[in-house]
Structure 1
């Protein structure tokens, strides 16, 4: 009887646990349509491998001209496509740039085809039609039926290993194609060199060197097959006589053990029974082929696909449970999909033994920290890293350590701007590593040498030879003649300088605090009171005469126009309000931004990246506007922040393939959703302050570590009750629309009382 009772209790506990599984609400397919640029495949939190399908092969040029579809395929997959060309192991999540797509595998049967063919002629190559009805996309699991071959493809991952499982029909002509030419953003000469070596009839190793967004990138790999292949072959499309010279003595095409060249493809042949599964493990390494083999041995030594899937999904459960919410199903799907997207990047960039390739292209070992890459800092400093300081403090500290290692390995001693795979690509403006570092220091999450970090920030901000910083220092702004993004860069440098000042103040460095506090006011130097906008300024001190505040191209701004960037002084909203003429005018300006009707020419002339996510002239799909709705909190109408937030949330986020109003930008769009749905937002990272908004969840429990939790309760939550009537922290009323980091991290209960009318 006791055993029976115990069994019942155990089963009831199992049911309760199953009911609280949060990955059921994660929809990786969200953002795969239009310009979300997410991928639907498998990965673990911050994993080195992102194993996902490609739905087309896009060349940089089309008929000798730039192919606009390159931007469309930043993640390699578009939901409306009808065919799959294979499954590759590296992807950016939600970026505005196309790259990666390394080590593409494709299972086929029948006549061997080594080119993918065209999407309008699916039988012309190895690609296969597929249906979304036969597609499953979950956290760390992807499954699809390849209709051309009646093959079911499944995939899962560990941190450094991609695990494929292909279920074949009965055939004597089964193939696994390894396409080393394929990749996202294939412009001429992107492949610098590739190498393949067949170790035995179940093991292949190699590397791929590319000159893409990361201009000197080498991806090492090791492949293991669960079944021995009966034959293999190579195709070398390198535009030279690769069989000349001494290599001409050998026929490298059939069953030869190795091959090298710029354009290499390989195939591996099998005989299969009906329903037979061929499993393939692909391990990656930034260091060496031996490193890839060691990563495979360390992480996936066996062939249990379901165990690897379950282990990875349990990692996701652990991370997702750091914030548990109550709400309807749509709210949960939006929330946990957003949280999932925030936990993909940055990615681990080191072998299991701690070795990684540094910016100096030498091999280093991460001592006492995990090394990360994929720092899209122009995007993620705003909300993603502040979110990590709450729910992922140890990881965020390691990310700062990774930035400091980058700085030490940099010949110019510059912190990362947009870095990936031991390369700096200098994309976008600002030096926003300093924001991430300052935010960690200010919020007490700095288990590293904070003074050395301050030195790195100061050296970066004084780097006169780079990105027109010298002009900025000398003149207090960047002249329009010298930089097409002169206004944006000036504004972003001023904010970053303020971050350095706050860090210096925290560390007691008065001289640096005073120097950079003064520099932080440089944002005022590009405000033109005659036009009422931030305005390109010439070297002689005058403002440019030809100026259009609605145009995004050629006006001194990046991914935004003057209307958006005039509001970019997140470190000094009160000063900005005064500069723009006071409270009444500022509120009117904000109102106009959200309600104005854009002329047709805006959509004719604007960049592709600003066409999604627009409300009035507020561009939620581009990050410079992410703090804007919260600026009403510095006026006499803070309730308008609450109104705007609850208007933006359902318009920009839906649990559907087209459910993201713009690029997710390695998690920034999603981090905005997480903060805003919880009811507060970090307007100026580098400050300990959060601006209050309007929570969209019924309740939330945030795990703060060290046994502390923040319990957020929202009374009278509904679509109509968007206005905060009263806010209590541990029973004490908060009189201003602001919270501090200490308020949150102290734990306890944050209670919102909501209503249909503003106070």
Structure 2
């Protein structure tokens, strides 16, 4: 009986422990402030998963030009916020997360007291405008919640969101001159003439609506808004900062400065006056829409019909709990903060881009109806095809299928009939090289994730995109098998990227039994060999006459060497689809291992940093540039050699060096979640070296235990025995109790559910 009781209590304890693990709140481990210092380029404000609104503070909004020249601070402020800054300019509703390019920052709101000021002031003299000093000691940054005290006024600013609505709550002191400033001019990447037009109309004494047209990185972007207050404003006023004041219609008959019915100009700032009691809360809801003012009003009424700030905050955090629980890990507090902040950053982009009724603006600038799918935008595909979309194919398959459908809609609406390259807000930004949307489509098709799109249509779109002869030297690539050095500044890297993309098309065609397409593109995928110089041992620029570049070639240098965001040392390893072929071309296993070793051990010369924006040397280990995505698979290539233990050693080293739970804890731009997706995969112990394949290369897990909760209801469990900082080497791997042969895992192994066990040790095998 005693044994039975002991067993009963032991069982009860285990059940209770399991329940506690299941119900543990994960939002507290999310620290959006991670990566806001230096070059992480993420924002600390509020957003829900994949939300259309990202409501966050701006610590500066530098002009594109400084004294007639490009202002390097524009790059520094891609997300509008830098942790080292001491002042806040205001709170705007749209942000990129972790990009190396700037735009957005729409509809900046700032609460003030005293004299109305409509210029932002300067960081060294914040009192010269509506800017305010602040302290991190009075700042709270959580998933879907941001709070800060504005020292200039004593106002407590809080904000939260739904998918399409930003909810502000400002606690004012007692004042007869309280104001809300709405700056319709402010924006990130704020070069001259970015604002094409702004419009605002008063609906009643507590609601205004309007829109903003901008010509920024996205050249023809329109965003509509509906803004409402929880109490009537006493009056409102505006200033037109356009060089020319043009009034028409009723302006000669009515007072157009205060309590105006509507106003339109290129450069507008508006303010709203209130009288407040001590600790009175002025609440603001601002909904946005890519379609219309009516769409913004519908979004507002549907998503936030009431004024309960805490409910909106809690509902949004509940959404985050659902998403974060798709992977439940065990580890230290630091491990969990790094992991769940990475999960958070991975689930900000791509962003929903449609109203609650399914209407959205297409690339053709017409209004479309999303039928049976959610339309998304913010596709940084040069970055995210590598790990972010493969991650979604595991934990967000339905959402990723909708993203593919969004890309196919883009293709249909494109006058060039091209899949997206880097698209945002019904615009194609044509940023970076390759046509990597095809890799995202192929990865989904090969892994059977085609719930909301036609796989054969996806293949047709990929083939059409890859055969666009006038796009970025594709014609030369098709005709010659490489891009001549004198024709394109990115000749080598683009050749390599096209070859990989072509391989993914071949894999999709093979899956769909379209063997004519497969034969064409599998042959094209070997074009990487045409830019590999066996004499130098590097990928090398080649002239149109078939000879290697005659001028000096420096494998350390980026600028002018035929590569983008990398050098010959990095890009020589960029053959993710054919590591075995690359090893053979480079002289065999021993030379290949030595080459990867040297990548991590050789220090880049100082002249490299003079050529790049990343002058802080963030994200660099030797000559390995983790902050630039073409290197993300490099450490895993040892798995194709006789020294897979070197992958394990390097992965654990990169995890420690490149990711920390501190403001400077990202070793480079997060690039809309790619850096974070690399961390998630690598922490779990495997990585998609070549998306478009159903295989993952094994690394070295840093978690103690993990459960992936799949959409099917199945679970894939990862157990790590003998886990420690010293035990980085895999001694044995068991899949469902049986030894795993080799260092590769299949997608089906994960999606079928089951258990993967790593046995770790301090010495390599």
- TM-score, structure 2 normalization: 0.97
Residue 751 of structure 2 corresponds to residue 758 of structure 1: no
Q: Contact conserved, 2:58 with 2:91, CA < 8 A, in 1?
A: yes
- Which residue, 443, 446, 454 being the options, matches 1:442? 446
State the SS of the aligned residue for 1:666: coil
State the SS of the aligned residue for 1:648: helix
* Residue in 1 that maps onto 2:6: none
Moved more, 468-477 or 291-300: 468-477
- Superposed displacement of residue 57, structure 1: 2.2
State the SS of the aligned residue for 2:590: helix
* Residue in 1 that maps onto 2:680: 674
- Which residue, 345, 363, 375 being the options, matches 2:367? 363
- Superposed displacement of residue 611, structure 1: 2.9
* Residue in 2 that maps onto 1:496: 501
State the SS of the aligned residue for 1:42: coil
Offset from partner CA, 1:456-491 (integer Å, 9 cap, x none): 000000111211111111111111112111111110
Structure 1 segments unaligned to the other structure (5+ residues): 1-8
- Which residue, 583, 602, 627 being the options, matches 1:621? 627
1:686-705 matches, within 5 Å, as: 686-705=692-711
RMSD: 1.5
1:541-690 matches, within 5 Å, as: 541-545=546-550, 546-608=552-614, 611-690=617-696
- Which residue, 471, 485, 490 being the options, matches 2:476? 471
* Residue in 1 that maps onto 2:36: 32
- Superposed displacement of residue 244, structure 1: 6.6
Q: Contact conserved, 1:641 with 1:693, CA < 8 A, in 2?
A: yes
* Residue in 2 that maps onto 1:457: 462
Offset from partner CA, 1:303-362 (integer Å, 9 cap, x none): 000000000000000000000000010000000000000000000000000000000000
Q: 1:18 to 1:227 in 2, by over 3 A?
A: farther
- Which residue, 32, 57, 64 being the options, matches 2:61? 57
- Which residue, 369, 379, 384 being the options, matches 1:380? 384
Offset from partner CA, 1:514-546 (integer Å, 9 cap, x none): 000000000111111121111111111111122
Q: Contact conserved, 1:726 with 1:733, CA < 8 A, in 2?
A: yes
Q: Contact conserved, 2:379 with 2:421, CA < 8 A, in 1?
A: yes
Query: What is the count of residue pairs matched by the alignment?
Result: 749
Structure 2 segments unaligned to the other structure (5+ residues): 1-12
- Which residue, 723, 726, 735 being the options, matches 1:729? 735
Query: CA–CA distance in 2 between the matches of 1:590 and 1:105?
Result: 50
* Residue in 2 that maps onto 1:6: none
- Which residue, 521, 526, 534 being the options, matches 1:529? 534
Query: CA–CA distance in 2 between the matches of 1:701 and 1:261?
Result: 54
Q: 1:260 to 1:722 in 2, by over 3 A?
A: same
1:74-223 matches, within 5 Å, as: 74-223=78-227
Query: CA–CA distance in 1 between the matches of 2:148 and 2:356?
Result: 30
State the SS of the aligned residue for 2:283: strand
* Residue in 2 that maps onto 1:4: none
- Which residue, 702, 706, 710 being the options, matches 2:712? 706
Offset from partner CA, 1:70-127 (integer Å, 9 cap, x none): 0000000000000000000000000000110000000000011001011111110000
- Superposed displacement of residue 249, structure 1: 4.3
Q: Contact conserved, 1:378 with 1:429, CA < 8 A, in 2?
A: yes
State the SS of the aligned residue for 2:282: strand
Q: Contact conserved, 1:551 with 1:606, CA < 8 A, in 2?
A: no
Q: Contact conserved, 2:45 with 2:56, CA < 8 A, in 1?
A: yes
State the SS of the aligned residue for 1:665: coil
Offset from partner CA, 1:380-418 (integer Å, 9 cap, x none): 000000000000000000000000000000011100000
Q: Contact conserved, 2:396 with 2:711, CA < 8 A, in 1?
A: no
- Superposed displacement of residue 625, structure 1: 0.2
Q: Contact conserved, 1:610 with 1:621, CA < 8 A, in 2?
A: no
Residue 354 of structure 2 corresponds to residue 342 of structure 1: no
Q: Contact conserved, 2:609 with 2:615, CA < 8 A, in 1?
A: no
Query: CA–CA distance in 2 between the matches of 1:68 and 1:697?
Result: 39
Q: Contact conserved, 1:176 with 1:268, CA < 8 A, in 2?
A: yes
Query: CA–CA distance in 2 between the matches of 1:672 and 1:250?
Result: 59
